[in-house]
Amino acid sequence: MAHGLYYTDSTNTTIFADTKGTTNIPGGFSVGLSTLVGFNIYPVKHFSIGAEIHFAYLYQQLGGKVEGTIGGTFPVNSTSYIYYMFSEKGFTFSRGVMSFNIAYLF
């Protein structure tokens, strides 16, 4: 989901526009290596509290016919439909994902 907010003010004109849109990339794949780092603390017997963080180094290839819509309030309420071909490939790091856990062990 993409959002844009534009504001221009000059001596003669004030322009305000708010746009929102959605695009879908229909195809692709990714492969890679990931790591998981975490810890657990046992404050009492049979009970633990912990956290984990996960990172990945990926090769990804995305592409295809991208379709989407963009709507806004400038100059009036309107909706535009977009279609274009898209291709991207290469290596990237995934954003870190963190989780917290609570466990009771029987």
Q: According to the model, what pLDDT value does residue 2 have?
A: 43
Q: Please check the confidence at residue 105 and state whether its pLDDT lies above 60.
A: yes
Q: Which domain holds residue 82?
A: 2-104
pTM over 0.75: no
Q: According to the model, what pLDDT value does residue 96 have?
A: 84
Q: Which long-range contacts (CB under 8 A, 24 or more apart) does 19-22 make?
A: 19/70, 19/71, 19/72, 19/73, 19/74, 20/70, 20/71, 20/72, 21/68, 21/69, 21/70, 21/71, 21/82, 22/68, 22/69
Condensed to tens digits (0 to 9), the pLDDT of residues 39-96 reads: 999 999 999 999 999 889 999 888 877 777 777 666 566 677 777 777 888 998 888 8
Q: Please check the confidence at residue 32 and state whether its pLDDT lies above 60.
A: yes
Number of domains comprising the chain: 1
